[in-house]
Each structure stands twice: as structure tokens, then as C-alpha cells.
Amino acid sequence: MMKFMLLLTFSLFWTAAVSAQDKDASAIDSYIARQARQERGEEYKDARKIATGDLNNDKTPETVVLYTIESQGGSNNYIQYIAVFIRRNGNLTLLTRTEAGSKTGRAVESMAVGNQAIELDTLDYGPQDPSCCPTIKGKTKYILVGRRLREQHLRANKK
């Protein structure tokens, strides 16, 4: 009987956790799809990255999403965004977003959330780089100030 109760409890917990994850993924998918329609583009979903961490020191983790919308209006452009979602009444809700990279700016390679900041590894364009291929490694970070993301510093390395 004890094994059955443990199994039942675990099953209910697992089902609730999976349901919450599905609900979060659906909220993120819906938000990005709306933005892609507004920009007349589409998300490059394989490039999406999600991390969680406390950005505003309230002891509650925010969900940070790095995503790319490309082919705006049929072009070969892309823009990378960072969106911060907070939990309200059990649901993820967008707090803010900002542009973090683009085909003509810099490319964001990776993202981590820690120390109340969103840390990005980037590639910037050197003077001889074609528009497809930035080569100068850099780092930057964003902090959450109220309802806005503020870039703190940018450090580019030599080739």
C-alpha cells in the first residue's frame, strides 16, 4: 500500500510539473509567434535558448528567452531578442524585451543567467568580415532595471 501511495504521489507531482512546463512553453511560443507575425518574419526555433534566474533580487526566478526572428518581409535579415518573463498568478507574462543582436550588428552565441544579470557571449563584425560571418569574440551583460533591460558593458576581443 505504501508503494502505491508513493507511486501515486510521484505520478501526480510529475503530471503537474509536466503540465506547468507545457503551459510555460505554450506562453513563450505564443508570444514569439505574435511578434514574428508583426514583423512579417518567422522564428528560427532551433536557435532559441531559455534560462532562469533571479534578475531583480526578489527570490523568484525570471524566465529569460533568447530567440531569433528572421526573413522579415521576405528578406534575409535576422534579429535576436532577449525577453524576460515573470510569473503572475501562476502564468508566465512578458515583462520586457530588447534587441540583442542582428545580421548587421552582432551575433549572440550563448546566454547564461546569474548574479542578477543576463550574460551573453557575442561575435562582432571586424572590418573585413562579410555580413554572414562576424569573427570578433565579445561579452556583454544586461541587468533588469525596473521593467527595462539595460546593457552594462561590452568587451570585444581582438581576432
Tens digit of each residue's pLDDT (9 = 90 or more) over 52-98: 999 998 889 999 999 999 999 888 899 999 999 999 998 999 999 99
- Judged against a pLDDT cut of 90, whether residue 1 lies above it is answered with no
Give the integer Cα–Cα distance in Å for 154 and 133.
19
Question: CA 4 → CA 1, 18, 60, distances in Å?
Answer: 5, 21, 34
- Judged against a pLDDT cut of 70, whether residue 159 lies above it is answered with no
**Nearest Cα residue to 151 out of 120, 115, 123:** 120
- Which amino acid appears at position 94 of this protein? L
Give 103's contacts (C-beta < 8 A, 6+ positions apart): 76, 77, 78, 79, 131
- Judged against a pLDDT cut of 80, whether residue 156 lies above it is answered with no
66 versus 133: the higher-pLDDT residue is: 66
- DSSP for 31-87 reads HHHHHHHHTT-EE-GGG-EEEEE-SSSSSS-EEEEEEEEE-GGG-S-EEEEEEEEEE
Residue 145 pLDDT class (50, 70, 90 cuts): very high
Give 105's contacts (C-beta < 8 A, 6+ positions apart): 99
pTM reported for the whole predicted model? 0.83
**Nearest Cα residue to 51 out of 88, 82, 87, 93:** 82
- DSSP category for residue 108: E
Give the integer Cα–Cα distance in Å for 53 and 76.
33
Coil/strand/helix, residue 97: strand
